[in-house]
Amino acid sequence: MNTKIEKGATYSAKEEVDKYRAIYYAGASGDFNPIHIDPEFGKAVGLGGVILQGLCTLGFVAKSVTDWAGDPGKLKRIKCRFAAPVLLGNTVNTAGEVVEINGARAKLALKVTNQDGVEVLKGVEAEVE
């Protein structure tokens, strides 16, 4: 994709969280916390079951930015605050808008919600070059 990056440009993306995603991510990251891999433990601590690792959710967002920008090397910075758990079977929706251009860099404001409109990440910003 050859995206023209200009102020006001927008994009959206979504990622379905399959029932194995937390296990795949645990294997790749080493994050085997029981809240991510043991449904009974997740229920016992009040989470309703397994929740996805926050950094996996942020990874979905980073991928949406790099897909939109057309090159993974264009992503220079990303930040967020983890706000709500993502459950297996959820959909992670990302809506981005270029809010500032400074030289060769563009700053994006991103809204990240689940399928019910709950913000799972807040204060999400990215910079692309």
Residues with active-site annotation: 31, 36, 51, 54
Provide the mean pLDDT of the chain: 96
Topology of 10-17+53-128 in CATH? Thiol Ester Dehydrase; Chain A (3.10.129)
3-state SS, residue 123? strand
User: Using one digit for the tens of pLDDT, what is the confidence trace for 34-53?
Assistant: 999 999 999 999 999 999 99
∠ CA 91-51-26, rounded to 5°: 105
User: Using one digit for the tens of pLDDT, what is the confidence trace for 87-120?
Assistant: 999 999 999 999 999 999 999 999 999 999 999 9
18: phi then psi, degrees, rounded to nearest 5: -75, 165
Given a cut of 90, is residue 4 above it in pLDDT? no
Residues sharing a CB contact under 8 Å with residue 5, sequence separation 6 or more, in sequence order: 69, 98, 101, 106, 128
